[in-house]
Structure 1
Amino acid sequence: MSWAALLGLLAALLLLLLLTRRRTRRPGEPPLDLGSIPWLGHALEFGRDVASFLTRMKEKHGDIFTVLVGGRYVTVLLDPHSYEAVVWEPRSRLDFHAYAVFLMERMFDVQLPHYSPSEEKARMRPTLLHRDLQALTEAMFTNLHCILLGDAAEGPRGWRETGLLDLCYSSLLRAGYLTLYGVEASPRTLQSQARDSAHSADVYHTFRQLDLLLPKLARGSLSMGDKDRVSSVKGHLWKLLSPVRLATRAQRSSWLESYLLHLEELGVSEEMQARALVLQLWATQGNMGPAAFWLLLFLLKNPEALAAVRGELERVLWRAEQPVSQMTTLPQKVLDNMPVLDSVLNETLRLTAAPFITREVVVDMAMPMADGREFSLRRGDRLLLFPFLSPQKDPDIYSDPEIFKYNRFLNADGSEKKDFYKDGKRLKSYTVPWGAGHNQCLGRGYATSSIKQFVVLVLSCCELELASTDVEVPEFDLSRYGFGLMQPEQDVPVRYRVRP
């Protein structure tokens, strides 16, 4: 390296150091922790294991602090009593649009003119509620039945060996794709169902290749080989979900029809519409499979919990005129009458849902805390809530917070438990798996019903067992923090077969 280049490098490092160290904590601001590396600050620790890093910062600074992460100043709030004030703050002060648009472009190459997440949510809300939700639930059951159980005319089938995550993720995403994006033909025939099975499998396997690389995409850390693979995978998905190809599909959901009309009204090209539809496939289907994986794994590892869920299903379904395997729909009154399964699902989400709730600080502002304190936030900083640490893993709220307890969300009389406390005060939000406030997930009802239907079908119509009884619950893939449901470092081998 020449002297000129070396001097240039040293000058750049000095400039970074000066830019980083120029910021000091002002009166009334949260504790400031710049880390030891100029500009990067705590970026390496944040990216490596954000939960452990933020736990350490909380022990050092308390439940609110500001850290430097890759040139950005991020104020982290971990007091669940104070979350409500943040998530309902108007966009003119705390904005969640900018970060959503940034990730939309970086991860999925989607750029929409005059894009407004709030307007889009308002447009999509009616298609995911009430009568439309019931239609989605019924279609999802039909498609799960076809994907998981196949054609009854095939006769008895033997044991299959697979990974539990692959079983759950593929079944739910493929069925969800057919539910939202349409099927081959109506009425369905054996031939069209076979084509639906093959096509949805292609969609899933291609999507899964992209899904595994999304954390690197979001953080801008793809290798050259990764970039080539991502480009190829995205290109294939854009073809599979192109508006022209989807136009011929039958039984398309009202959600899809409304969303495509919305994109057309925005003046979005067909190529960009395909990209947006891939984004929506991830947004609507990307968390259900991992959630079902953890739920079934916890049941398989906890015989008492599995017996309780099976007992509830027997009580709820024994009056049915036909077995679940022959039902064309699972009545909503059945789905709504499963408090034990609801508790298991809530406990699963408490342990494994780890989304970031982010806001961009638009103006210098004062943020009141629930305990009466007040802190100043600077314009241009980012505000981050991480409910995975608190309330969900907070030992002051939950006893033995790392342990799965299937009845944690049940009262003694079998009703749903909703009263949880911190510092003697009842919590409004004791788990936050679906986001909160202005940015709460619209599809949570559809997702919850889909997961429960899948679990009912598996436990009622299949025999499922771990390939080895001594298999351990895998560790998290730490790169998934912030993206919704955590995924395991490795899949768990299982054996299953459809009951004759």
Structure 2
Amino acid sequence: MLFAIFLLLITIVALLLLFCGRSRRVNEPPLEKGLVPWLGHALEFGKDAAKFLTRMKNKHGDIFTVRVAGQYITVLLDPNSYDDVLYDTVSLDFRRHRGVLMKNIFSLVLPSHNPDKERAWMEQHFQGVGLDKLQLSVDSHLRGLLMADQKGCGTAEWREVGLFDLSYGLLFRAGYLTMFTRDDNTDAVYKQFRNFDKLLPELARSTLKGKDKKSATSSQESLWQLLTPTWLEGGRNTSCWQESYQLYLGEAGVDAETQRRALLMHLWTTQCNAGPAAFWLLGLLLRHPEAMQAVLAEVRGVMQNHSLHHSAHERLVTHNTPVFDSVLRETLRLTAAAFISREVVVDGKRLNVSGGQEYCLRKGDRVFLFPFLSPQMDPEIHHEPESFKYKRFLNDDMSEKQTFYKGGSSLKYYNMPWGAGRNSCVGKQFATSTVKLFVFMVLSHLELEMCEPTDPLPRVNPQRYGFGMLQPIGDLQVRYRFKRN
């Protein structure tokens, strides 16, 4: 009995040494292990990553290492040093962490997954002729959805809605119809998608329990069924994006079950950002009348005498809209908050930080860039970074402002809503053009106002840091009616 207790104590001590014994080496970043063995700062990180990492930045500067659930993560917040991470394909790897997220969120494992080949396939659809085709399709579907809404709403009749529901609902439906081309299950897909998206951060962290876990699993399974190819045989366009993606997966040897799980992943990646971005942009315009009037002037110049029966996309591509473009960049600066993550696969990877300091990283650790904190919310780069300044990205001559500084040096990266480098978002042009198209259609054809003019914008959901566009807690109540032609 005493021998068994002795072995147990030896085991406990060994585990404590294993998980608590790491110490900072010479030339390594400042180390924060946290007070709880193994867990470290996981709870604080998951609750509000921006708040936690801001505290670490204030304490240690632009580089530090934290322990989160047994993993050591080096956070780099110096934009002048980002290229050391973004373009290193020898010492750093992005595939392994992506594979973990795919499995946790979408229950998806893609055998022999080749990200470079997949990116090349996606570029065929989200650039050049493929992009123009998608934009025209979104245009058509948005106009169709607005016309359907107009038929059920008299010209003088005000409707009260949540702005987030309005923006996300219309843009998701238009995007789904564009990518999957089936219109008889759109509402069912949207309902399940919203529930799945709400629980996604906890899915990624494997922290869902009880009813929420069952709810996420139920929505996931429903979406697999709704998106399964046999349900989409009645689609109107046999050359749609969905069929092309299935063909790509089939040629890669991916079985039918894995294909439909992959379809859900791409439904989320293509539709999760545009709706929230449009919500924040319209909300900020409603809260800042001067900015709204400046954008409305551009809307009138582009959309004068525009009918919902005719394409709006063709008008937008032939007109310069510098004020709107600045507003969109400012909105994304304030609300785009993805992580850029790499795994260290070569011991002794070196990072050069502004000021001439050099740090070494350990194999098996991860490196995080968090552009939301720096450059986007860095007061040294952007004056009063928490304030919405709609001309922030405009020069006096109305050209785009592209010169920003940190530490006396001009920055290559001063706003990074779509990432950067080899793994920047392939669909960023599609997303920005979709948001622009939606906002111009809404402001051209709808009278839109806040139900309570003094209402503030809702707070952001802090659990969404790291997962693309931020989402609000609650909604902003607005009312709208169609303008008289």
- Considering the TM-score relative to the shorter chain, is it more than 0.5? yes
In structure 2, the partner of 1:175 is: 174
The aligned counterpart of 1:462 is 446
- Post-superposition shift, 1:153? 5.6
Which 4+ residue blocks in structure 1 deviate beyond 6 angstroms?
A: 2-12
Q: Report the Cα distance in structure 2 between the residues aligned to 1:120 and 1:4, rounded to whole angstroms.
A: 57
Structure 2 residue 294 is the aligned partner of structure 1 residue 272: no
Give the counterpart letter for 1:115 in structure 2.
Answer: H
Residues 219-245 of structure 1 show CA distances to partners (whole Å, capped at 9, x for unaligned) of 111112122112211111111111122
Is the CA contact 1:343–1:410 (under 8 Å) kept in the aligned structure 2? yes
Tell me if the contact between 1:16 and 1:38 (Cα under 8 Å) persists in the aligned partners: no
The residue number in structure 1 matching 2:217 is 231
**What is the CA distance between 1:399 and its match in structure 2?**
0.8
Note the residue ranges of structure 2 that are not aligned, 5 or more in a row.
none
Which residue does the alignment assign to 2:338?
355
Q: Deviations over 1:442-478 (max 9, x none)?
A: 0001000100000001100011111111211111101
Give runs of aligned pairs for residues 160-239 of structure 1, distance below 5 A: 160-183=159-182, 196=183, 199-239=185-225
1:74 corresponds to: 73
Deviates more, 1:20-29 or 1:152-161: 152-161
Contact in 2 for aligned 1:354/1:433 (Cα 8 Å): yes
Which structure 1 residue ranges, 5 or more long, are not aligned? Answer: 184-195
RMSD: 2.1
Is 1:117 paired with 2:115?
yes
The 1:479–1:16 alpha-carbon spacing in structure 2 relative to 1, beyond 3 Å, is farther
Q: Which residue of 2 aligns with 1:193?
A: none
**Distance (Å, rounded) in 1 between the aligned partners of 2:289 and 2:4:** 65
Which deviates the most, 452-461 or 367-376? Answer: 367-376
Q: How does 1:480-491 map to 2 (within 5 A)?
A: 480-491=464-475
Instruction: State the 1:174 CA deviation.
Output: 0.7
Q: Give the Cα separation in 2 of the matches to 1:165 and 1:209.
A: 14
Residue aligning to 1:132: 130
Structure 1 stretch displaced more, 276-285 or 326-335: 326-335
Name the amino acid aligned to 2:39: L
The answer (yes or no) to whether the contact 1:78–1:385 under 8 Å persists in 2 is yes
Tell me how far 1:18 sits from its aligned partner: 1.4
Partner of 1:443: 427
Change (3 A) 1:35 1:250: same
Q: Which of 417, 423, 426 is matched with 2:410 structurally? A: 426
Q: Partner of 2:266: helix, strand, or coil?
A: helix
TM-score by length of 2: 0.95
Q: Aligned partners of 1:150 and 1:99: how far apart in 2?
A: 43
Name which of structure 1's ranges 473-482 and 323-332 shifts more when overlaid on structure 2: 323-332
Partner of 1:476: 460
Conserved in 2, the CA contact under 8 Å of 1:161 and 1:495?
yes
Q: Counterpart of 1:402 in 2: which secondary structure?
A: coil
Cα displacement (A) at 1:372: 2.8
| Kept in 1: contact 2:160–2:479 (CA 8 A) | yes
Distance in 2, Cα, partners of 1:166 & 1:316: 26
Q: Which amino acid aligns with 2:453?
A: T
Shift of 1:17: 2.6
Answer yes or no: is the 8 Å Cα contact 1:355–1:484 preserved in 2: yes
How far residue 273 of structure 1 moved from its aligned partner, in angstroms, is 1.1
Q: Deviations over 1:158-203 (max 9, x none)?
A: 22221111110011111000011114xxxxxxxxxxxx2x521221
CA–CA distance in 2 between the matches of 1:472 and 1:359? Answer: 37
Number of residues of Structure 1 aligned to a counterpart in Structure 2: 482
Q: Which amino acid aligns with 2:136?
A: E
Cα deviation 1:116-169 (Å, max 9, x = unaligned): 222211121111111111111111011111123327666735222211111100
What is the CA–CA distance in structure 1 between the aligned matches of 2:378 and 2:438, rounded to whole Å? 30
SS of the aligned residue for 1:391 comes to helix
TM-score by length of 1: 0.92
Which of 337, 362, 366 does residue 382 from structure 1 map onto? 366
Q: How does 1:35-434 map to 2 (within 5 A)?
A: 35-90=34-89, 92-150=90-148, 156-157=154-155, 158-183=157-182, 196=183, 199-251=185-237, 255-318=241-304, 322-331=305-314, 333-334=316-317, 337-364=320-347, 365-434=349-418
Q: Give 1:253 shift.
A: 5.7
Moved more, 452-461 or 125-134: 125-134
For the residues of structure 1 that align with 2:227 and 2:267, how far apart are their CA atoms?
Answer: 9
Pair 1:332–1:461, CA change in 2 (3 A): closer
Answer with 455-464 or 154-163: which moved more: 154-163
Alignment-mate amino acid for residue 38 of structure 1: P
1:191 — aligned with what?
A: none
SS of equivalent residue, structure 1 residue 110? coil
Post-superposition CA distance 1:68-113 (Å, at most 9, x none): 11100000000011112211111x3111111111101110011111
Structure 1 residues 138 and 375: alpha-carbon distance in aligned structure 2, compared to 1, 3 A threshold: same
- Residue 327 (structure 1) shift: 1.8
Q: Secondary structure at the match of 1:326?
A: coil
